Amino acid sequence: MNRAPGSNPAADEYTPGELMGFIAEKLRAGGLEIREYPHGTDLVELVITNPADSGKGRVDVGYDGYVKWEYEGQIKDRPGAQKIVETVVSVLTTDVAERREQMTDDNTGS
């Protein structure tokens, strides 16, 4: 997107494709694998996996803001069920503010 000279990029609107590109870039920098799905010239969906640990599932991110995590847990016994409980609790209760700050610092060279 071309921005007018003197414009404030923080106040400008970004296209969904630009924002999806930003997300992909940050996640790749964190070592994750990204498959990109464009529609025309816009990037509209990302499928993210961890090549170092594929057992952690995958995350789909859409330009409309949806985020879906798919994880295939083993629920045949109590240890498998407990692992699912621990995984869900970790995902939904972890304070990401500290991690977010670390990712920002890592990617800005601070």
Segment 56-101, tens digit of pLDDT: 889 999 999 899 999 887 788 999 889 888 888 888 887 777 667 6
Torsional sign, CA 18, 93, 89, 98: positive
**End-to-end CA, the chain:** 27
* 3-class secondary-structure state, position 59: strand
Model confidence at 108, pLDDT cuts 50, 70, 90, reads low
Torsional sign, CA 61, 48, 87, 31: negative
Give me the pLDDT at residue 95, please: 77
Give me the pLDDT at residue 7, please: 54
DSSP alpha helix (H) spans, the chain: 16-29, 78-93, 97-108
What are the extents of the domains in the chain?
Answer: 10-72, 74-105
